[in-house]
Each structure stands twice: as C-alpha cells, then as structure tokens.
C-alpha cells in the first residue's frame, strides 16, 4: 500500500464550539436544507469526493474549472464579488460537479450574510469528504482560522486537507515567504502537516502540481 505523505498528525481537541450552539427548534434556513441535501447525495455517491471551501471570491469555482481542465459537468459559475456560488436562495442549487469519476463540491464563500459560518458548523457534511481544498486569497481573517479549525475537527482523520493560495501571479518571492510564515502561525500548517500550494487560476501556475497531488488526470 502506498503511504499518504499528507497523513494528518494531530487533531485540535481543545477548541470550544459552544459559541455555535443553536437555539432549540430553530427552523433550518434554505442554505442549511441544501447542506443536508448534499449529505444525503454524498452518502449515496460512490467515488472520490473533493470539497473546495474558502473565502468569498477566493477563486474556488475558477480553481475547480482549472483542476478539471475545463471539463467538469456542470460547469461552475464564476463571477465578480461575493455569493456568486449561491446555495441560499434556491432549493435546488448545483451541489455537485463531476469529472474523472470524482465528485467535486464547489461550496459558496463562507462568512457572508447569505452563507454564515454558523450554518457550516451545524449542517455542512465535512465528514463525507476524502479531500478538502481550503482556498484563500488575501489577508487571513478570524473567520478563516475558525473555518480551518472546523475543517480539521469535523473531517475524518483520513481526509486530506490542502491549503491553496490563489492569485499567485501577483506574489513576489518575498510575499510568498511571508505568507507561508503567516499560515504556519495562523493555520498551524506544520502541526497539521498541511500541504500548501500557490496557484494562479489566470495563468495556470501550480495547477499541474496540485492535480498531481490530488491524482486528477
Ligand atoms: N487574477 C486572478 N483572478 C482570479 C484568480 N482566481 C479567480 N479569479 C477571479 O476572481 C473572481 C472570483 O472568482 P470565483 O472563482 O467566482 O471565486 P469564488 O471563490 O468561487 O467566489 P464565490 O462563489 O462568490 O465564493 C473572478 O473574476 C475570477 O476570474 C486568480 O488566481 N488570479
Ligand atoms: Mg464560486
């Protein structure tokens, strides 16, 4: 058996999630209904499951298109601004994209009014994924640290979590070193043994390397 170089070492166990406790009998929002629908779908689906999770406008949908050589079906919507990928207004959003017998879940950017972190905490089926691509763009916000903690706590021990920084075409060597340093502190990349990639969805930098890491043809 081939050993997984990205095997996770430690789990954060001392994180207090009580902040997220919901009021009893609160009615599920449409987003939360859609998260539950996704869980049902993924439990029935056979094959690898990869989630793209990240800040609004971080380039998740663009990355999905690049990783699948423009061929996933259906194609994701790419836009300007936030909430382009929207699971909060329709009861039948596109929850899943397929390519090379892999299920890709292109999630809406978190921590917006329409897609609050609390809903991810309570209803997003983190445990259903083999791989989570955690996509970031600019400054690391508190919500990013919270979301990564959620991912690390709620995914299976055997899931691989990969950190991806888009918009790499704008970054100098110095920028990259300082970002890696920031991520090592804020996301504890070394403690969690998180693989890390710089990519440009515009010019293609880092895409082949990420495809190789994920074993996508
Ligand atoms: N220059 C550059 N632009 C990018 C890159 N990745 C995405 N973009 C642009 O950023 C904008 C947002 O991209 P999306 O892929 O829709 O971002 P998203 O994370 O899916 O956004 P939400 O679904 O709203 O959370 C689009 O105009 C993309 O063309 C990148 O690596 N470099
Ligand atoms: Mg999107």
Give nearest CA residue, ligand 1 atom 13.
59
Integer Cα distance of 217 and 92 in angstroms: 29
Q: For residue 60, report the distance from its CA to the centre of ligand 1, in Å.
A: 7
Percent of the chain whose pLDDT exceeds 70: 89
Assign residue 67 the CATH number of its domain.
Answer: 3.40.50.300
Q: Is the CB of 206 under 6 A from ligand 1?
A: no
H-type helices in the chain, by residue range?
A: 30-44, 60-67, 117-123, 142-154, 173-186, 189-192, 207-214
Integer Cα distance of 164 and 198 in angstroms: 6
Please, what is the average pLDDT of the chain? 92
Tell me, yes or no, whether 187 lies in a domain.
yes
The domain total for the chain is 1
Tell me, yes or no, whether 20 lies in a domain.
no
Percent of the chain whose pLDDT exceeds 90: 84
Range of the domain at 99: 28-214
Residue 102: strand pairing partners: 48, 99
Interval 85-90 mean pLDDT: 96
Tell me, yes or no, whether 12 lies in a domain.
no
């Amino acid at each position: 058996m081939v050993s997984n170089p990205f095997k996770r070492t430690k789990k954060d166990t001392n994180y207090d999630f009580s902040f997220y406790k919901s009021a009893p009998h609160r009615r599920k929002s449409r987003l939360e209904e859609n998260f539950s629908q996704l869980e049902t779908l993924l439990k029935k689906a056979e094959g690898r499951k990869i989630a793209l999770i990240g800040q609004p406008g971080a380039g998740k949908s663009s990355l999905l298109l690049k990783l699948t050589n423009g061929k996933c079906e259906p194609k994701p919507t790419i836009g300007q601004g936030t909430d382009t990928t929207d699971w909060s207004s329709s009861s039948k959003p596109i929850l899943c994209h397929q390519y090379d017998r892999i299920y890709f879940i292109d999630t809406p950017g978190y921590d917006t009014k329409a897609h609050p972190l609390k809903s991810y905490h309570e209803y997003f089926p983190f445990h259903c994924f083999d791989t989570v691509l955690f996509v970031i763009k600019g400054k690391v916000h508190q919500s990013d640290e919270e979301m990564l903690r959620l991912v690390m706590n709620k995914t299976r021990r055997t899931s691989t979590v990969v950190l991806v920084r888009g918009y790499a075409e704008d970054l100098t060597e110095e920028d990259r070193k300082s970002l890696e340093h920031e991520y090592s502190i804020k996301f504890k990349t070394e403690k969690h043994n998180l693989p890390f990639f710089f990519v440009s969805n515009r010019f293609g930098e880092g895409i082949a390397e990420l495809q190789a890491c994920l074993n996508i043809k």
